[in-house]
Amino acid sequence: MTKQVIVMRTDLNMRKGKMIAQACHASLGVFTQTMVWNFTETGEIRFVFWGDEDTKEWFEQSFTKICVGCDSEEELEKLYAEANLRKLPCILITDNGTTEFNGVPTKTCCAIGPAQSHLIDEITGHLKLL
């Protein structure tokens, strides 16, 4: 089974809408890393996407996403680094601080996957669901 896990910092006390927006940035951000613009002869723009078998399985099934929380920027960075080290699809999101965080760019969340559930669980399985 494949899934994607979104890890949100709980110490920031973000508004619910802000959390949802940040999670969406993370979920989609994984895919923008693997997209290429393809300009056709007729001037159309098409996205070309490539992924592995886990991503294909995820798209063909239920797009399972799990949201969990972590307590600090340091913990978020550690989880992201571990996913990156294991070569799992992942992205770390930094908010620009325009609407919250007093204009200070702030690391808010990361997405890990889509990948096999057991591989992600080795990194995030100890975290509490949001």
Q: What are the structural domain ranges in the chain?
A: 2-129
CATH of 2-129, one of 3.40.1490.10, 1.20.120.140, 3.50.50.60, 1.20.210.10: 3.40.1490.10
Higher pLDDT, 88 or 46: 88
110/7 Cα distance (integer angstroms): 5
pLDDT over 80 (residue 13): yes
pLDDT tens, 15-33?
A: 999 999 999 999 999 988 8
Contacts of 88 (CB under 8 A, 6+ apart): 112, 113, 115, 119, 120, 123
Please enumerate in sequence order all residues whose Cβ is within 8 A of that of 27, keeping only pairs 6 or more positions apart, or say none: 4, 6, 65, 111
Q: Using alpha carbons, select from 91, 95, 67 the residue that is nearest to residue 79.
A: 91
What is the mean predicted confidence (pLDDT) over 87-93?
97
pLDDT, residue 72, reads: 98
Chain-wide mean pLDDT for the chain? Answer: 92
pLDDT of the residue at 94 = 97
48-71: average pLDDT: 86
